[in-house]
Structure 1
Amino acid sequence: MPRRRSGGFAEVLAALPSREAHEPRSREHPVAAGGFLDADGCYWRLARGPLERRPAKRLAVGADEMTLGDWHEDFPDALVPVLLAPEERPAAWRKASAEDPRAYGFRAADGRTLLYLDVFC
């Protein structure tokens, strides 16, 4: 499997909202904010959602990345979703499907896609 690469530093900076627009939203939920920075510095922009079950299931298989909306503890000032390893995705989809998630599609500047499952109990 190819190693995950984020864009160059200039691409990351170009994808970010202005500092003034981003800072107050750093603790805002990624869906409400319209995007987020992952732990690798890649900016993911909200592309669509909430998704119906069938398109969400297709993304669970075909998206480049997937998250259940769990947060990294290493970033106390921002909500940074934990990206799942490929081997974790099938079990995560089964678990999330049983709990009726809201699914959203995000896109990176380099064209990669991400499925974001927001699970409500």
Structure 2
Amino acid sequence: MPSKPRRRTGGFADLLVALPPREEDDGFPLGPHPLAAGGFVDADGCRWRLARGPLHPRRAKRLAVEADAMTLGAWHQDFPDALVPVLLAPEERPAAWLEVRDRFDAPDPPSHQAYEFVAADGRTLLYINTRC
């Protein structure tokens, strides 16, 4: 009769179990990141679904002008239980694009990647994710 496999100790799962519980007031919203979740609901209640990405910088540049909405991935503080990106006002978008355009896929932080989200009504959103 084959012996039962022995359970290893000291692995990653044991490390996770040993971590203290997350405190809700650590300054970070709870919930899955919009990229990992495949979408999010904005502050106005519109559901955005991840359509594609990471995008080529040329496509991101085009969407910075043509998309119906844009975010740099900053979070609303009014929603402590969810990651709700702050949408930029139309007049803020040109300056935001100038701020991030040279750091797409940069080897050292900060580095940016662009993603396209769509709403059920066909609107598009350019989501710029920053990796620090």
Which bracket does the TM-score occupy, shorter chain normalised? 0.7 to 0.9
Q: Is the 8 A contact 1:48 1:104 kept in 2?
A: yes
Q: Point out the structure with the larger helix share.
A: 1
The aligned residue for residue 3 of structure 1 is none
* Structure of greater Rg: 2
5+ long unaligned stretches in structure 2: 1-29, 105-111
| Deviation by residue 1:51-106 (Cα, 9 ceiling, x = unmatched) | 01000100000000000000000000000000000000000011112332100000
CA distance in 2 between partners of 1:97 and 1:57 (Å): 8
3-state SS in 2 of match to 1:110: coil
Q: Is the 8 A contact 1:68 1:119 kept in 2?
A: yes
Q: Is the 8 A contact 1:31 1:46 kept in 2?
A: yes
Normalised by the length of structure 2, the TM-score is 0.70
CA distance in 2 between partners of 1:91 and 1:120 (Å): 19
The aligned residue for residue 122 of structure 2 is 111
After TM superposition, the structure 1 = structure 2 runs for residues 68-79 of structure 1, keeping only pairs within 5 Å, are 68-79=72-83
* Pairing partner for 1:38 from 5, 17, 42: 42
CA distance in 2 between partners of 1:27 and 1:94 (Å): 30
Q: Is the 8 A contact 1:99 1:120 kept in 2?
A: no
CA distance in 2 between partners of 1:108 and 1:70 (Å): 19
Q: What amino acid is the match of 1:51? A: L
Q: Is the 8 A contact 1:99 1:119 kept in 2?
A: no
Q: What amino acid is the match of 1:86? A: P
Extract structure 1 runs of 4+ deviating beyond 4 A: none
CA distance in 1 between partners of 2:50 and 2:97 (Å): 20
* Pairing partner for 1:83 from 87, 101, 109: 87
Determine whether 1:49 maps to 2:53: yes
